[in-house]
Amino acid sequence: MAEREESGRGTWGSKIAFILAAAGSAIGLGSLWRFPIMVGRMGGAVYVFAYILAVFFIGFTEMLAELAIGRHTQKNPVGAFEAIRPRSGWKYLGYAGVVTTIAILSYYAVVAGWAFGYLYKTIFGLFRNITWESSAALFNRFVANPWESLFCFLVVMGITTYIISRGVQSGIERFAKILMPLLFILMIFLAFRALTLPGASRGVAFYLKPELSKIDVKVLFFALGQAFYSLSLGMGIMITYGSYISREENLVSSAGWVCFSTTLVAFLAGIIIYPTLFATPDLTPEKFEPSLGLMFQTIPLVIAKLPGGFLFGVLFFILLQVAALTSTVSLLEVPVAFLIDEHKWARPKAALFLGGLSFLLGIPSALSVGASTALTRFGFFNKMDLIFGNILLAVGGLGVLIFLVYFWGIKPALEEIRAGCPRFSLEPLWVFNVRFLAPLAILILLIFIKTITG
């Protein structure tokens, strides 16, 4: 995050610094861990395509809308709505975003804790003689041990709180600048290994050959939810990040880059996981039931097949940890910025309070996964993910679009976007999407929510 100047706010050092920070927020466990699970749950390739369409038509539209609101007002979400429409009640949409970030952080950091646990497990010999059964059993044992998983969760929450309390996000982003491209290269490498495993083709077919009969509202709804989740939309993160961008910069190409790189990482995660999974003897797509541990159970199998697997394993889990931390940091920054800007709290106090709150809220999530890693809708973890990670992101995203179209206006929004982007060739498409396609699609999917969750 930009260093704050005397006025209390800063701007990004350069366009690339902003793209990296926003991509750092976006690329994380959402793409690497959650996307492959959703693909498994929703029956494979149809979902992959629905997700890509959701990113292109709705995610990109929404991201540009949030960045424009943020840059225009130079404020956190609550302050931003209030600045454009004072005393109108719209600020409550900002409050909803603040609550959502805390709720998502609470269980997201549990998963980031698993990444931490896998780092030391790798160092202590996780990859020795690993098979699908032993890998699955290892994950289940790990999360079923409350002390170990709570310890890992606490470590990640502690690091996140520390980074935010010192306001040193720019430090970690400097790190991420080097490590994220490295993650990307490592993933291409792993994808290549996965695709050349004997029997990989069954996984490729599951992942890339859509059976159109599988398309339904549920698939579309969760594709939309995943697009918002992976792009950090619908809760004010991109409004906050946009508030640090200067008017010379091109919001359109920045949003495009963030959407593209995030989708690519998610796509690669699936390309690694599915061929590896279905190259396992006896595991067929029909018999397969994705669990919350899918990525943790599968990645070690492909890494073990590389010469020097141990080192690749350590590297992978370090990079995964950094990807997760740049996201947990962005989740905590929104409510902290809110308390600092609107209630004049000191940064360390705000960070400690909200970090502590998220930790307490995350304990039932961590324990519920210990009881069962199945994706049932009854566990606390799964409930949090459904309510906050899908429904509230969609509601928040819809709110932002309605606000932009009817309460701010397409005209001033376009003026904001054109500053720094004189030739906005996608303009007619964006205007159509922001006015009709995106809000209607979200609304219709939300109306069907009963059939989806029932």
**Which segment (66-74, 150-158, 229-237, 435-443) binds ligand PHE by CB under 6 A?**
229-237
For ligand PHE, which stretch binds (CB under 6 A), given 20-28, 48-56, 166-174, 280-288?
Answer: 20-28
SS3 346: coil
Interface with ligand PHE (CB under 6 A), residue from 230, 280, 291, 297: 230
What minimum distance in Å lies between the beta carbon of 379 and ligand PHE?
18
CB of 365 to ligand PHE, least distance (A): 14
**Of the candidates 160, 170, 169, 171, the residue with the CA atom closest to the CA atom of residue 352:** 160
Q: How would you write 173-217 as a 3-class SS string?
A: HHHHHHHHHHHHHHHHHHHHHHHCCCCCHHHHHHHHCCCHHHCCH
Indicate the residue among 30 and 379 with the shorter CB distance to ligand PHE.
30
Stretch that binds ligand PHE, among 11-19, 225-233, 271-279, 346-354 (CB under 6 A): 225-233
Looking at residue 119, its amino acid is L
Token pair, residue 366, equals 């961590």
The one among 118, 222, 229, 257 contacting ligand PHE by CB under 6 A: 229
| Amino acid at the residue 14 | S
Q: What is the distance between the alpha carbons of residues 328 and 95, in angstroms, rounded to a whole number?
A: 19
104 scored as a contact of ligand PHE (CB under 6 A)? yes
Place of tokens 């992942």: 207
User: How far apart are CB 112 and ligand PHE at their closest, in Å?
Assistant: 9
| Number of residues this chain uses to bind ligand PHE (CB under 6 A) | 14
Q: Mask 310-349, x = binds ligand PHE (CB under 6 A)?
A: -----------------x---x------------------
Kindly give, in sequence order, each residue whose CB lies less than 8 Å from that of residue 380, ignoring residues fewer than 6 positions away: 364, 365, 367, 368
Of how many residues is the chain composed?
454
Q: Which CA distances in Å does 250 have to 62, 67, 130?
A: 16, 11, 48
Choice between 104 and 339, CB closer to ligand PHE: 104
| Binding residue for ligand PHE, selected from 20, 21, 29, 239, defined by CB under 6 A | 29
Q: Which member of 61, 232, 321, 433 binds ligand PHE (CB under 6 A)?
A: 232
Scanning 11-19, 201-209, 227-235, 363-371 for contacts with ligand PHE by CB under 6 A, the matching segment is 227-235
If phi over 0 gives left and psi between -120 and 50 gives alpha, with beta otherwise, what is residue 286? alpha
The Cα–Cα gap between 233 and 107 comes to 17
Residue with the closest Cβ to ligand PHE? Answer: 30
Would you call 108 helix, strand, or coil by DSSP?
helix
452, 281 contact by CB (below 8 A): no
Q: In this complex, which beta carbon is closest to ligand PHE, that of residue 119 or of residue 237?
A: 237
The distance of closest approach from Cβ of residue 150 to ligand PHE in the complex, given in angstroms and rounded to an integer, is 21
Beta strands in 57-151 (DSSP E): none
Residues that bind ligand PHE (CB under 6 A): 25-26, 28-31, 104, 108, 229-230, 232, 237, 327, 331
